[in-house]
A and B are shown apart, each in its own frame.
Chain A
Amino acid sequence: MSLEERVSRGTLVINVEACKGCDLCIDACKPRVLEMTTDEFNSRGYRYPRLLAGCTACHACALICPDFVFQVWKYDDEGDAAAEGGAHGS
């Protein structure tokens, strides 16, 4: 299954400005759906995570994050990742 076809059981709201770029969420995420930006920074100069399809709402990211960056949602019914639209998140 290609990345675009992975099903997201949950999603996140990411408080980009709160992030201090520590990268802990990247390894904590078992489905590996978080990726740090490389050339984009928040207003404090830190890189921050972006979400790919396939989130399971396990909230490991929220548990490990020192800066309270994540709000974790679990969908009431499983849906296609494509239903969320393909625009770059911010």
Chain B
Amino acid sequence: MAREFMEGSEAIARAMVAAGCRFFAGYPMTPFTEVLEGMAKHLPEVNGVCMNAESEIEAVGMAWGASAAGVRSATGSVGQGLSLMQESLAEICFAQLPLVVLNMARGQGDYFQATRGGGHGDYRHIVLAPSGIAEAVKLVQYAFHLADRWRNPVMFMGDYYLAHALEAIDPVRIEFGELPPKDWRLNGSTSGTGKARIVSPILADKRDDPGCRSYGQRLEEIGGRVAAMASGVEPLLESEHTDDAELVVVAYGTPARYVRYAVNKLRRQGLKVGYARPITLWPFPSDALVRVTARARAVVVYELNTGQMYDDVRIAVRHVPVRFIGGLSYDHDGFGIAPDLSVNKLEARVRKAFDA
């Protein structure tokens, strides 16, 4: 194991290349820009292609085309840039294509965008939320595996801290198991054979195909895929000190590291608190969350927004009221550095919720 001290963006870029990503397209935006820089540097080293797209919409379009060719492809941005990509992200689901999409978010306000989808129609992205660089390096590789396995976009939810903190990392390739061959990919070789392939969000069959499906039929079919992923993708949750916790704090992403630290500190002071961290934001680990909060008398949610994952926790946890102890917190630049994100402030909020 040869670990190097590197910035999160660099680690994520190198992990993507290690996972076999050979096409990336992106547009600069803080705090995503350094991921693009990393891919621009490392992809040519492995004969991959990194495109400096002229817009976010073109970036996701290029990744769409490369994915259709059967190449592991990715794009990314920040929530604002992903807003531009929403039409394409929805239609890439309908076209049944793998794609990894990074959101190096400013804060935690993009939870709804990622888990509900900001595009049209009935689709879902699988959403993975790491809580530190070491985990990010594993999850981004897992994202490519899931994307190929389910032929669907997988969103990687990062943030400014993840992008710009530094840790000692070895971005080594991780194997996740066999995948079926991409026998649907396009390169022209089936043109003229009577069995020319189509990759389309609308019509997937040629007119003379015996099983030619209408657009309406396809839309219904795609709805069925959401149910298949909801039950087939393994939901992931991390938890600590929940066996005898009276109060459980639920958080995701970078703030969850602070929550974990605060919970451990309060435990050492004798408070029976625990913490739960959803890692797959979609499918949301509802069953696991219910199990780890079963004995608690209070469940609180901490996130740097006005309450988004809060909804999913309330839908899952029914036996006690769920309260929100998070909130928006920005420094002057608005890039998602939260002055409230401090262990002391967290401790105070958790203690107050515990005593309530």
A–B contact at 8 Å CB threshold (below): no
